[in-house]
Structure 1
Amino acid sequence: MIRTVTRTVLAVIYAIAGYLHIYAPDAFLKITPAWVMWPDAVVFWTGVAELVGAAGLVQPWSLRLRRAAAIGLALYALCVWPANINHFAMDMARADSGLGLGYHVPRMIAQPVIIWLALWAGGVTGWPFRPRSR
């Protein structure tokens, strides 16, 4: 039950983020590292990836598809980490420190949790909640 609720909440969050990537990309474009080629296309397709991943995570028909979506979302969260790091660096370089350490440090800590959460909610891993085998 907890896993189902978590999976649904995570899917809603990813769906909202995906929608925003497509229909309001400016905030995402601002934090995209300069070395990313074709940032408009990358932001658009990351939005599509979030929407598809969210749909796959909550579909009830195939555990295999749900797990694939969970792995995809975990990899997605790993791949966008450089944008979060870039946002952190850009904000800290501002005279007013932008959103500040109170936002960015927890956000950096949250990224591995988000990655694990996608894998756990999607049924890819049971760690650390399943009993140890002897």
Structure 2
Amino acid sequence: MNTPATPAATTPRGSPGSSGRPAGGPPGSGLARTLVRWALAVLLATAGVGHFASAEAFRAQVPPWMPWPEAVIAVSGVIELVLAGALVLAPARLRPVVGWVVAAFFVAIFPGNISQYVTGTAAFGLDSDAARLARLAFQPVLVAAALWSTGAWAAWRRRR
């Protein structure tokens, strides 16, 4: 007996309408998405701990116009640790929301990266304008990774 396959099960990966996850799976599922989500969590956790272990290095990213740089460093470190935990521990139904929050955080800290480039401040091995410029180009990759790995983009597209 031949039964027709459902469209979701037959949609090739990478084609329009494909979410890049198993048919019927929760947002942000699939091995590649999970690995990217965990990599982002490790990156955020490492940076979050670094905010307290070597706060002076993070001062290079706080724009000169921002008040209370020590508080900014501490608060952003706590936020990074919380976001790292959320990327790993949030239930699948909340992953898209976590993705949007992580992406927004990466956008919110971008002015600090710009400030480090404009002021020419060396930190984190970024001791040249070329290295600091390359870091600026990498920030959109982090935003995209947060949205993709959590299924935030796919969930947004489904709602539209």
TM-score greater than 0.5 by the shorter chain: yes
Question: 2: distance between equivalents of 1:17 and 1:107?
Answer: 15
- The percent of aligned pairs where both chains have the same amino acid is 34
- Kept in 2: contact 1:58–1:66 (CA 8 A): no
Give the number of equivalent residue pairs.
123
Q: Does 1:109 align with 2:137?
A: yes
Larger Rg: 2
In 2 relative to 1, CA 44–64 (structure 1 residues): closer, same or farther, beyond 3 Å?
farther
User: Is 1:16 the equivalent of 2:55?
Assistant: no
1: CA distance, partners of 2:49 / 2:78:
8
Ranges of 4+ aligned residues in structure 1 off by more than 3 Å: none
Match for residue 125 of structure 1?
153
Q: What is the alpha-carbon root mean square deviation over aligned residues?
A: 2.2
C-alpha displacement at 1:3, in angstroms? Answer: 0.5
Structure 1: give runs of 5+ residues left out of the alignment: none
3-state DSSP class of the match of 1:125?
helix
Runs of 5+ unmatched residues, structure 2 = 1-30
What TM-score do you get using the length of structure 2 for normalisation?
0.69
Q: Give distance in 1, aligned partners of 2:136 and 2:101.
A: 20
2: distance between equivalents of 1:22 and 1:69? Answer: 24
Find out whether 1:77 has 2:100 as its counterpart. no
> Paired residue for 1:47?
77
- The letter for the 1-side match of 2:145 is L
Q: Tell me how far apart the structure 1 counterparts of residues 61 and 141 of structure 2 sit (CA, whole Å).
A: 21
TM-score, normalization: structure 1? Answer: 0.81
- For 2:71 and 2:104, the matched residues in 1 are separated by 18
- Conserved in 1, the CA contact under 8 Å of 2:96 and 2:152? yes
